[in-house]
Amino acid sequence: MQVLDVESADEWETIVSGCFVPLRCVGFEPQFKGQMAHASLDSAVSVSLVTTSGTSADRTESLAGRSHRDDLHLSLQRSASGRVIASGTSVAVRPGAVSIYATDRPYHLDYSPTGQQQLIVQVSRESLGLPKEMLESTMHRLTLPNGWLSPAARTLFSYVDLLPDGESAEVGDTVRDLAAVMIRSSFGEGSGVPRTSHGLRHAVLEYLRTNATVPGFDMDAVARLHYISRRRLYQVFEVRGLSPSTVLRTERLAIAERLLRGTSNRTVEQVAFESGFSDATTFTRAFRRAHGMTPSAWRHEARSSDPTAA
């Protein structure tokens, strides 16, 4: 991503208009500072992380009327609060909210409280391949129900947050795919499963991370949940030299490390169950392979080297 730091109102308006669409900034906090991290993935999709000390902006009717693009802004509010106004509708956004509005229509963004940060996907509506009625309904309501709590929204924005380097065309296609899945899912339509290999792999990764502490589920169940075969599940990980089982085990071991490093005196068996392992023997065997020592020995060493640990 290209990262630009700005300390003047005029320069910020120029930067924002260049990365998104022309806007008229109508208010700035005193001692304004802003940072724009921006990447164009292809001609129809870009991603940005916008951080400011507070500002407001208008996409006026005149500016919107001259637009030659049909883009949507999908914006995750990461910090502070704000308000989005468009088509006679006004919605408040707080951390975790996802707003959706069209760039070829007038809107007002009130991000005047300090400490603002938005993670933004700008994507052509036509490129999403969604029904026009669905897109109209999406733009009318302005926000996504449940915001970040929606699994499809979490999959999209967590992928964008860790945007892979290179392969822009494939990454751009994945972002489009995940954006379309998010919108479809918000209407209860579609399987909620990405069509691209990158998107599918990331959706499964998010599922495994979110459910790592749940014992007893196997990869056949994960495959069924994502409407794919077990073979397809393993194929999308094999291209990265991984397997879903390995990813799950790694996530569980990371949880176990945090528990072992903590101040409580959980037994090894308690740590095993709380981190998703079915029994202490399986946990100890996996931990020893990863660290070359037992969980008890690792905990003693970790706490000895940490002066803040009790």
pLDDT band at 71 (very low <50, low <70, confident <90, very high): very high
**Mean pLDDT rounded to a whole number for the chain:** 91
pLDDT at 135: 95
Q: In whole angstroms, how far apart are CA 234 and each of 140, 164, 175, 195, 245?
A: 40, 21, 22, 15, 9
> Residues 85-128: pLDDT tens digits?
998 899 999 999 999 999 999 999 999 999 999 999 999 999 99
pLDDT at 309: 53
Share of the chain above pLDDT 70, in %: 97
* Domains, in order of start, for the chain: 1-143 (2.60.120.10), 247-304 (1.10.10.60)
pLDDT mean over 198-227: 91
Q: What is the pTM of this model?
A: 0.88
φ/ψ region of 188 (left if φ > 0, alpha if ψ in -120 to 50, else beta) reads left
Residue 15 has pLDDT above 60, yes or no: yes
Residue 169 has pLDDT above 80, yes or no: no
pLDDT at 99: 96
pLDDT band at 38 (very low <50, low <70, confident <90, very high): very high
pLDDT mean over 242-257: 95
Residue 228 near residue 191, CB atoms below 8 Å: no
Residue 56 near residue 110, CB atoms below 8 Å: yes
> Residues 266-285: pLDDT tens digits?
999 999 999 999 999 999 99
